[in-house]
Structure 1
């Protein structure tokens, strides 16, 4: 099933601060949403997307870390939950499709374990490190209404929010088309 690109929600849209609800059952509608999320993520282009970023407040994320010349390697996580975090920190320059063209160094645990359901409804656990660990934490944060800019200094965060409020005012809304 090939998905359809959906509009992205951008800062300062308040929906980004909403806590997403668990997916009640995995059905064709859930799979269609995941497919749309992947299409939207690839089109952006990005490496991760939470359903809330396309105005669907559900605990669903997609990730694909494949390089541009590699075969796509999409991952879909339904109701992901971080069950363990490593003690060692890792730092990556993060960006976000909902905060376009802004990047900042963010320190997070270098390793995580995440429980989730796959699209067949089977419980899975992934133990991740490096970029996958960072991406999982970034996207799970979205499900809890947390943005990567919440992990940087208040001064930088306030400057970013102010910039995006001004841009939203200029274009008369907060959603991209």
Structure 2
């Protein structure tokens, strides 16, 4: 999968559920490398296959600039804390728009690495919010769906205005 351009909102492909990865081979590694390259190119924190038109359940996440990205294959949330925390979110697929989203403060996820080995990790705070955001995208849930209807409508209007101005 050579990386395509980023898919921008309101493209209906952003609402598609990504398919589980079943083959862990050099092709997957090349595609993951392309995803990481796209992540760097757009200076994002996280990016999923669907953001670039690759409907595979793969997330690339880099919380700190200059550090290696972590690749999560077929990530699934296995625990969410009852406590929530607000985080400012946005998307490279809707540049220039952000808003506060309330998400679980702590989560546990199970995922595979590029060799197919299974891992389970717990995260909290910003990292937990990022993982929830990207896993939502794999499930076809664009981040603004986590906003109230009014805030979602305002975000869409801000995005439309920003696109007209560009």
> Would you say same fold, with TM above 0.5?
yes
The 8 Å contact of residues 98 and 155 in structure 2, kept in 1 or not, is answered as no
The alignment of Structure 1 onto Structure 2 pairs a total of residues equal to 166
Query: Is residue 91 from structure 1 mapped to residue 89 from structure 2 by the alignment?
Result: no
Distance (Å, rounded) in 1 between the aligned partners of 2:143 and 2:103: 10
CA distance in 2: counterparts of 1:167 and 1:21, whole angstroms: 32
* Residue of structure 1 equivalent to 2:71: 76
Match of 2:44 in 1: 46
Whether contact under 8 Å (1:4, 1:35) holds in the other structure is no
Q: 1:155 is paired with a residue of what secondary structure?
A: helix
In structure 1, the gaps of 5 or more residues are: 172-177
For residues 126 and 73 of structure 1, the distance between their equivalents in structure 2, rounded to whole angstroms, comes to: 17
2:35 corresponds to: 37
Question: What's the secondary structure of 1:126's corresponding residue?
Answer: strand
Asked if the contact 1:118–1:124 (Cα under 8 Å) also holds between the matched residues in 2, the reply is yes
Moved over 3 A (4+): 3-6, 159-171
Give the distance between the partners of 2:32 and 2:79, measured in 1 at CA: 25
Describe how 1:118-157 pairs up with structure 2 within 5 A: 118-157=113-152
2:103 to 104, 108, 113: 108
Query: What TM-score results when the alignment is normalised by the length of structure 2?
Result: 0.91
Q: Which runs of 5+ in 2 are unaligned?
A: none
Q: Secondary structure at the match of 1:52?
A: helix
Distance 1:29 1:165, change over 3 A: farther
Which whole-Å CA distance do the structure 1 matches of 2:3 and 2:151 have between them? 31
1:62-116 Cα shifts (integer Å, max 9, x gaps): 1010146xxx131000000000001111111111111111010111001110000
RCO higher in 1 or 2 (8 Å CA, sep ≥ 6)? 1
